[in-house]
Structure 1
Amino acid sequence: MRFFQKLSLRIKTIMIAMITSALALSISGIFFTLYDYQIAQNKANQEYRVIAKILADRSTAALEFLDEEVARDNLRSLEAHQSITLACLFDVNDDLFAAYERKSYRAYKCPHLLKRDQMIDDNQYLEIREKVIYDESVIGALYLLTDQGDLRETMFLRVVTSVIIILISLFITFLLAVRLQTFVTRPITRLQDTAIKIRQSDNYSLRAEKTTEDELGDLVDAFNGMVAKIENDNVALRDSEERFRTLTASSPVGVFQTDEDGQYTYVNARWREITNIYDIHLTQEAWIKTLHPEERFQIMSRWRECVEKGDEIRMEYRLLRDDGEDVNVICHAKPLYEGSGNIIGYLGSLSDISELKSVQLQLEQLALYDPLTKLANRYLFRNRLEKALKHSEREKTKLALLFLDIDHFKKINDTMGHDQGDDLLKAIAHRLRFCTRPGDTVARMGGDEFTVLVPEIHYEHEADAIARKVLDVLKVPIRLTGMEVIITTSIGISIGLSDAIDANTLMKNADLAMYRAKAKGRDNYQFFSDEMNIELTRQLAMEGELRQALQRNEFELYYQPQIDLTTNQLVGYEALIRWNHPEKGLVPPGEFIPVAEDSGLILPMGEWVLKTACEHIKLFNSTGLLPAHGHVAVNLSPRQFHDPNLVTVIRDLVTTADIPSQQLEIEITESLLMDNVESTIRTLEMLKDLGIILAIDDFGTGYSSLNYLKRLPIHVLKVDRSFVMDIPHDKDDVEITAAVIAMAHKLGLKVVAEGVEQLLQADFLKENSCDYAQGYYYGKPMSVDDLYKNIGHYEKWRSQG
């Protein structure tokens, strides 16, 4: 069968014709030969039986009369029949009576055959037995033996003749098959030639020629239709591939395709740029070498697992270039399937996300770390604090929270400039990292506030040691551009889980302890105590009472006179707020002003003071309590001064009260000037444009720069009472006060001395040309009613002049 399959269609066609013809001729020849033989044999047998019948009838008389001569004569008549070789006549007793034997035949004899039922076992011979009947009685039997050899010879000749005829027919069939097979094979050969040309040239525009209208013609039509479809599909595929390659060539994403074994069959230029692989013959091994050694095994295991399962591949990993640069990439690939559903490869993309990773890292730094110092920010610190509290609760340990605030940093920052201040904060952050343990967390909470989380401590003295170390390290001079700076810090310490079990309370307690350290003179540390909570509770209670006091109008303005030292005449008052508490009586401002400042109540309270002072100025003008060119000074808190609506509020109050704006004097503290110099100057200039008198209160207690002072649009300097109270006994205070007065006059400013309580102090101020003075020597702060009662006292001042 395999041999037959290897033969050409031409040979197969000829062989089929030959085999078919041979089988047809052979079967028909054999059939007809056998048929003729059977007919001839039946005819001969019939003839022999007739002869036996006739001869038996003729032998009746011979047997009846026992005439052997007649019997032999009858049998000799068989010589005319060449096929009858033996004839035997038996009597009634089956004894041989007469016989005939052909002379050329000596094979069998009658005496030997008499007793046999079947005398000869040979297909060549035919035996015929016929009874001899006389008067309906069997008187004997006739036996004939015929030789069918002649019939077989005739049959053999016929077979030979048939074979010769078959061979001649097969030869003729062969010649016709060779000739006629071209009608079948030529269209197929042409179809084959066309297919070969299409395969060799890859030109699907070629078509096979149709020469018949039969099944072969239909086959050609089907072939041409198939080729046309393939041509159309190839055109569409080429167009698709062209679009794909055009798209991938300009794509910012690396595109690749692999076979089922993972070998690369296509990559675009961007893929090569990302992987830095430019080999023409790209292999998977070359790609594997680019994987970062730390991630190579994991990536390959994940890749093989996805390929084995036929899953979609999505991985993020790093590549390591020859120059040592890390490239962060994300790979996404999907399996490609053939028609049977088997995976034939993967098509995927490779994106360089290094910049995205960098941005993500930067965003993470911005979200979790302070951009200036690189320390943890408030969010990250709180997160770690909460985790540390849970860990401490589980492990039955403690933790310490240190809250640091740099002493006088704002003044240093404003004096030296913000760039130098930033460098100082970086240096502080570096030192804090240096003096803490690796497991501790140092964070910048904002401005000059830092925190240190010290987890897993067993005794409070461990936090004590860290706090002392921080204080000592920060005291070491820090060298900045062109100068050295020595700083101190105030530290508050709270212990978890002793002082608090939650982050909010723990941070609040540390903050309270830090303020206690500042109150203790700075440059020290304080542990949180219950007394601080009591103080906080008191402040919260006072805050509530202050809110009610504003609603119930429990505040009152007191006025302390200001005297012109040259003329001893009243030039104005300083307005001082007092709280008439319904239970506690008169509460001094030193107790409630800090609470109001912290809580924000200072804004409505300050606005009430301004409004009331303006109304009293109008009242004083009408009653003669204020000279025509006199003024009333009102102190502004830092928060009130930085209120963006301050200028508008003051202008509206002056306009509503219908008073001269130069009769209102606004006092701000020296420390406030250094918070934001440029913004302060702008606000002061707007107030000056309204005609308001501007004064600096408590001058000499702060760190204001003369460079800034000469730029400020102010009118008055108020010398703090701390420099006046020891005059003339304290030589330093004498010199400082005289210098401040002289400097103010050089700048064209008026000078007011606070806290004058003795005649010697007043005489010294007069000798040094101080402009104005106020204090108990001239009068205590008084209510409006008391001012009316003591108006005659002003004449006493005038007479003393």
Structure 2
Amino acid sequence: MRYISSMSLRFKTIMIAMITSTLALTTSGVFFSLYDYQSAHKKADQEFRVIATILADRSTVALEFLDQESATDNLASLDAHKAITMACLYDANDALFASFKRNSYNLHRCSANLPEFVPNKVDLFQEVREPVIFDDAVIGTLYLLIDQGDLRETMFLHITTSIIIIIITLFFTFLLAVRLQAFVTVPIRKLQDTAIKIRQSDNYSLRADKTTEDELGNLVDAFNGMVAKIEHDNVALRDSEERFRTLTASSPIGVFQTDEDGQYTYVNARWREITNIYDIHLTQESWIKTLHPEERFQVLSKWRDSLEKGGEFRMEYRMLRDDGEDVNVICHAKPLYEGNGEITGYLGSLSDISELKSVQLQLEQLALYDPLTKLANRHLFRNRLEKAIKHAEREGAMIALLFLDIDHFKKINDTMGHDQGDELLKAIAHRLRFCTRPGDTVARMGGDEFTILVPEIHTDHEADAIARKVLDVLKVPIRLTGLEVIITTSIGISVGLKDAEDANALMKNADLAMYRAKARGRDNYQFFSDEMNVELTRQLAMEAELRIALQQDQFELYYQPQVDLNTGKLIGYEALLRWIHPEKGFIPPSDFIPVAEDSGLILPLGEWVLRSACQHIKQFTERGLLPKDGHVAVNISPRQFHDANLVTVISDLISTTGIESQQLEVEITESLLMENVDSTIATLNMLKQLGIILAIDDFGTGYSSLNYLKRLPIHVLKVDRSFVMDIPKDKDDMEITSAVIAMAHKLGLRVVAEGVEIIEQADFLKENQCDFVQGYYYGKPMSVADLYENIRNFDQWHSSTTGG
């Protein structure tokens, strides 16, 4: 095979033509000779069998009558057939009866008995056996021996003729193949010469000449197209390399290339600037020297691992320049492969990310620290809290979480401005740092809320001591632009892992404890207890039931009459909300109103109360249950009052129900007035423009200023029932009540006293010129149905209920 592959194309073409012709001629000659021989043999066999049949028929009489002479004469007639060398006639007992032998074959004689038949016998002679039959009975056998010499001569003649034809044909085939191979090899040789010239000159602009339009011409076209493609790719590659050199030379990123052993073969100018390596002969050792000592081993280990495994290298590390400056870089290198898949080196980039790291540190400060107080923010505090919990679990220790809320901080913002409020927060943050240990974490959660994480405490007393210290330190006056501000704080404390074992629960428990501290008068601290959790669970359950109650309309308005003390006439009602639970029955407002306020459900609930009250005012007026100058009073919660849509809601309800605006009285608590005086006055003025009556409820229980009180656009002042209920037993309450009535009248306000239950209280209030009263003495709160039944004749009904 190696010898054949080394032959020239010309010789291969001639040899293929010769071998192909020889095989074709030999195969066809052998086939036709064999076919002719078989045809002749078959024809002779048929001929001799016919002769045997005829001769057997003639021998029937001779055998039957035992006429040996007649049988011999009959066999002698075969002398005309030269191929038959011997004929033997045997009787029924296979004994020789008569015979014929050609004289030229002395070796052949008839045997005394019929020879046995030997199947598949190969011989130069052919045997023919033909039975002699008379009356369907075999009476003898004719045996012929035939010489096949003529057939052999014919076969030899055919073979000789075929050999001569093959030789002659091969001669002409050779001549033709020599001529034809020129048509194939000459264009290919020209194509080869062109390819050699291109290789030697590296000039891909050369093209092969096309001389034919056949497959060889197509081959030349394909070759020229391939050369053109290579020429185009080379031009593109040179352009790409030029662009790459230009790009890397001006790139802000360092670019480098190494061999398979990691030795540098190319670096751009920016790489040298970053590494501060300007050696002409660049080595890997010079790069290693620039690595920061603290990170050198780790970088080299990963780089060598990448070289050994042929993997990608990506790493952020520090380099140390000659001037001692740290440079933060990120290096990324990928392997380069040959066509066989072997790695030939690495191509990589080196980026100076020092400025990026600096910005990242600043972003981390913004992300983890409060920009105003520089304390930890919520995210960082949560992270440290979770770590402290895990550490406490491992060490079997406890941690304390203090949740602080500055008391009445909103008033400081409103009165002194947000800038002063920010200064106050920074001062508070400074003092909180003073109260804590180096390992503690102080964080600002937002607004005026702060937290302190105290890890590794052993008893609650340690958290108790820190809370006391915080309360005392914050009470020291803080000077702001010439003013001294005294603040207090409410602190909730939860201890882990006693109160809870996860961050969410600890935060929630501390928050609950803080609200308990506020509920107990502020300026104190409270530890979380299980009772608080029970209370929270109760509130959550009630919140869910409140939502269902709103959907299923389980609320109802009751109305308590208000009476003019001078005339004794009914002048209106106060609408009181009642919740009739389908399973629990009546639920007092004191149980569910705070929950509704905290959850925000007070807004849809308050709107429902206003809508229902306005609808009832319309019905009461139409049925004569409300005087023309009468009114219905509705309490507005603090959260509802500060809702931006309150004025719009009330205006729309008055318009849609068709009532007179003065028939609706809105009551707000005294404490609500002082939360944000300017905003409160603005809202009250808008409500006053609607024409509704404005009243202050529970007056005397808050801390309203007379200076603000005279600025408020209100019409009615309601004396809280706590001052009325002990009249006439408590002289102080009597003095306070009379003073409130007198002050209100001086301010041009009407006065309503609540909680009147006995005639002595009514007489005292009448004596002190109180305008209106309400209470059990005049009537309990009633449902609308009871109101329709009992209030139609108020004077008669009032006399029956009071016994007067």
Deviates more, 1:644-653 or 1:489-498: 644-653
Distance 1:739 1:473 in 2: 44
In structure 2, distance between residues paired with 1:492 and 1:756: 37
Structure 1 residues 258 and 555, CA gap change in structure 2 (3 angstroms): same
Q: Counterpart in 1 of 2:201?
A: 224
Match of 2:396 in 1: 396
Alignment of 1:721 onto 2:726: no
Is 1:266 aligned with 2:267?
A: yes
What SS is found at the alignment partner of 2:794?
coil
Identity %: 68
Q: Tell me by how many angstroms 1:614 deviates.
A: 0.9
CA distance in 1, matches of 2:449, 2:512: 13
Question: Across the two proteins, how many residue pairs are aligned to each other?
Answer: 571
1:598-647: CA deviations, max 9, x gaps?
Answer: 34442343233212211222233234444434432322223333556545
Deviations 1:752-776 (A, max 9, x none): 565586579858976xxx9x65565
How far 1:659 moved relative to its partner? Answer: 0.7
**Whole-Å separation in 1 of the counterparts to 2:657 and 2:194:** 116
Q: What is the DSSP-based 3-state SS (H/G/I as helix, E as strand, rest coil) of the residue aligned with 1:405?
A: strand
Query: Which residue, out of 788, 791, 799, partners 2:791?
Result: 788
Paired amino acid for 1:266 = V
User: Aligned to 2:791, what secondary structure does the other structure show?
Assistant: helix
Partner of 1:52: none
CA shift in 2, pair 1:729/1:307, >3 Å: same
Amino acid at match of 1:224: S
Q: How does 1:739-750 map to 2 (within 5 A)?
A: 741=744, 750=749
> Which residue number in structure 1 is paired with residue 508 of structure 2?
508
1:348-377 deviations in Å (ceiling 9; x for gaps):
223344565456556655655545444444
Q: Are residues 356 and 427 of structure 1, via their aligned partners in 2, closer, same or farther at CA, if it must alter by over 3 Å?
A: same
The alignment partner of 1:426 has SS state of helix
What is the CA–CA distance in structure 2 between the aligned matches of 1:216 and 1:654, rounded to whole Å? 107
Q: Distance in 2 between matches of 1:378 and 1:562?
A: 55
Q: Contact between 1:721 and 1:753, CA under 8 Å: does it hold in 2?
A: no
Matched, 1:405 2:398: no
Give the aligned partner of residue 77 of structure 1: none
Matches within 5 A, 1:642-657: 642-643=642-643, 646-657=646-657
Distance 1:706 1:283 in 2: 88
Q: Find the counterpart in structure 1 of residue 421 from structure 2.
A: 421
1:391 CA displacement: 3.8
Contact 1:640 1:646 (C-alpha < 8 Å) held by counterparts: yes
Cα distance in 1, alignment partners of residues 248 and 565 from structure 2: 89
Q: 1:235 to 1:602 in 2, by over 3 A?
A: closer
- C-alpha distance in 2, partners of 1:709/1:320? 72
Question: Normalization by structure 1: what TM-score?
Answer: 0.58
Using a 3 Å threshold, how does the CA distance of structure 1 residues 439 and 483 change in structure 2: closer, same or farther?
same
Letter in 1 for 2:201: N
> Larger C-alpha radius of gyration, 1 or 2?
1
Moved more, 714-723 or 306-315: 714-723
Which residue does 2:635 correspond to in 1? 635
Q: Specify the alignment match of 1:523 in structure 2.
A: 523
What pairs up with 1:668-683 in 2 under 5 angstroms? 668-669=668-669, 672=672
SS in 2 for 1:591: helix
Aligned AA (1:513): A
Q: Secondary structure at the match of 1:792?
A: helix
TM-superposed deviation, 1:378: 4.2
**1:690 CA drift (Å):** 4.5
**Structure 2 residue aligned with 1:662:** 662
- Cα–Cα, structure 1 residues 773 and 304, in superposed 2: closer, same or farther, change >3 Å? farther
AA of the residue aligned to 2:558: L
Secondary structure at the counterpart of residue 634 of structure 1? strand
The match for 1:443 is 443
Correspondence for 1:103: none
Residue matched to 1:483: 483
Distance across 2 between alignment mates of 1:690 and 1:279: 84
After superposition, what is the alpha-carbon deviation per residue over 1:732-770, rounded to whole angstroms, capped at 9, x for unaligned?
96999599759966xxxx56565586579858976xxx9
Tell me the equivalent position of 1:492.
492
**Pair 1:561 & 2:562 matched:** yes
Tell me which moved more, 488-497 or 389-398: 389-398
Deviation sequence 1:72-91 (CA, Å, 0-9, x none): xxxxxxxxxxxxxxxxxxxx
Superposed, which structure 2 residues align to 1:680-699 within 5 Å? 687=687, 690-695=690-695, 697=697
Q: CA deviation at 1:694?
A: 4.5
In the superposition, relative to structure 1, how do residues 607 and 288 fare at CA in structure 2: closer, same or farther (>3 Å)?
same
- Is the Cα–Cα contact under 8 Å of residues 382 and 503 in structure 2 kept in the other structure? yes
Letter in 1 for 2:795: G
**CA-CA distance at 1:594 after TM superposition:** 1.2
The whole-number CA distance in structure 1 between the counterparts of 2:287 and 2:682 is 65
Which residue identity lines up with residue 609 of structure 1 in the other structure?
V
Cα 1:281–1:418 change in 2 (3 A) is: farther
Please name the residue that 2:589 is paired with.
589
CA shift, 1:529, in A, is 2.6
How high is the TM-score relative to the length of structure 2?
0.58
Q: Contact (CA 8 Å) 1:654, 1:660: kept in 2 or not?
A: yes
Where in structure 2 are the equivalents of 1:311-322 lying within 5 Å? Answer: 311-318=311-318
Equivalent position amino acid for 2:720 in 1? R
Amino acid at match of 2:494: S
1:155 alignment partner in structure 2: none
1:568-597 superposed Cα distances (whole Å, 9 cap, x missing partner): 976644433244568887654333321232
Residues 1:221 and 1:471: Cα distance change in structure 2 (over 3 Å): closer
In 2, Cα distance between the equivalents of 1:464 and 1:427?
23
Deviation of 1:677 after TM superposition, in Å, equals: 7.5
- The farther-off stretch of 389-398 and 222-231 is 222-231
Cα distance in 1 between the residues matched to 2:424 and 2:495: 29
Q: Which amino acid aligns with 1:559?
A: Q
Deviations 1:384-413 (A, max 9, x none): 444444443443332323222222222223
| Gap runs ≥5 in structure 1 | 1-212, 797-801
The alignment partner of 2:628 has SS state of coil
CA offsets 1:318-364 (integer angstroms, 9 cap, x no match): 45678987654322123456899887764322334456545655665
Unaligned runs of 5+ in 2: 1-189, 207-229, 800-804
Structure 2 distance, partners of 1:628, 1:661, is 12
Query: Is 1:578–1:589's contact at 8 Å kept on the other side of the alignment?
Result: yes
Deviates more, 1:406-415 or 1:439-448: 439-448
